[in-house]
Structure 1
């Protein structure tokens, strides 16, 4: 049986914004909340990092703790969607395991994967202007974040405002084709779906 465009899997919708640091993900997420016609939760990964307290860790312990944070974040997103909540996720696939983890956790037909694009010179300009990111962070992420190459819809924040990108995404939602980007990547990778526990 052929799936209809926009057909859902029964959970909340996950609009997943993937792009480098300073690409404009957070701005698009905030603009989306103003134009989406339903209730959505904005879940940025930075909010999870901001929850952390405790002593300064040595590099090896810090790396392990950061991976636990990211894995916990993925499961929090999956749990919110499994309970029927719509979420806008602000994150990045700068390491292959993050994508694999999300492929295993999220119901693939309930994910709209959005590529947030911007040229490297513009990213570096924004990074310098912000002053709150390590120098060269966007450059280190640039080739890795979009390496998987598959999206449902893509935005160019150098050519379009956050509001225009948000409207582009909203206009896409009712006609999004199947299989989704997540369905295609799961089928190609053979990743088993573990998912989050369903709410009762």
Structure 2
């Protein structure tokens, strides 16, 4: 069985990943949306955070392996994720290094991010700004980069769909893993 294809959207909170994901799944019904935010709800339901009864493993560990599990069964996914720190980044790379990934960088200016945070009401103001100190700063090589504040949604969807149709030509994920590995070796 061929592995399911993965469209991995990486961007800070409120950058537009979830909206983009939902629209992509609407345009490409052979795909399913999987969000780290939705996955965190599952973990939260299992835990009793008030009593400190917590799962001692980061949510992303289970999330990345779930992506792999779906792909192993031939399920195509649109994944929205925030590769927000080194542990999350390395775990994602390690887990999905041999999977068919179209790597998409989702960008948005800080002013728009802060405005969206205020409108949403379910995010801490400044969360996106804090994530910007790491996200998109690790020599990522994206197959597609979009700015959700400037680019027309239909144009973004068409661009991603076209790149996905030629996934065998997409090399951003593999190049990013290689660049990051070389960068880490230089600092040791």
Tell me the TM-score normalised to structure 1 length.
Answer: 0.79
Determine the C-alpha separation between the residues in 2 that align with 1:100 and 1:72. Answer: 14
Deviation at 1:68, TM superposition (A): 2.6
* Map of 2:8 onto structure 1: 16
Give 5+ residue unaligned stretches, structure 1: 1-8, 191-200
Say what the alpha-carbon RMSD is for the aligned residues. Answer: 2.4
Give CA-to-partner distance per residue, 1:28-51, whole Å, 9 cap, x none.
001101212x51111001111112
Cα distance in structure 1, aligned partners of 2:93 and 2:10? 14
- For these two proteins, the number of residue pairs brought into alignment is 178
Runs of 4+ residues over 6 Å off in structure 1: none
Residues 57-115 of structure 1 show CA distances to partners (whole Å, capped at 9, x for unaligned) of: 578x76x74x5321001100011111111111011111122121111111446000100
Cα deviation, 1:2-26, whole Å, max 9, x if unaligned, reads xxxxxxx941111000001000000
**Of the two structures, which has the highest relative contact order with CA contacts closer than 8 Å and spacing of 6 or more?**
1
For structure 2, the 5+ residue unaligned runs are: 183-188
Aligned partners of 1:112 and 1:181 also within 8 Å? yes
Counterparts of 1:10-159 in structure 2, within 5 Å, are: 10-36=2-28, 39-51=30-42, 52-53=44-45, 54-57=47-50, 65=56, 67-108=57-98, 110-148=100-138, 149-159=140-150
TM-score by length of 2: 0.84
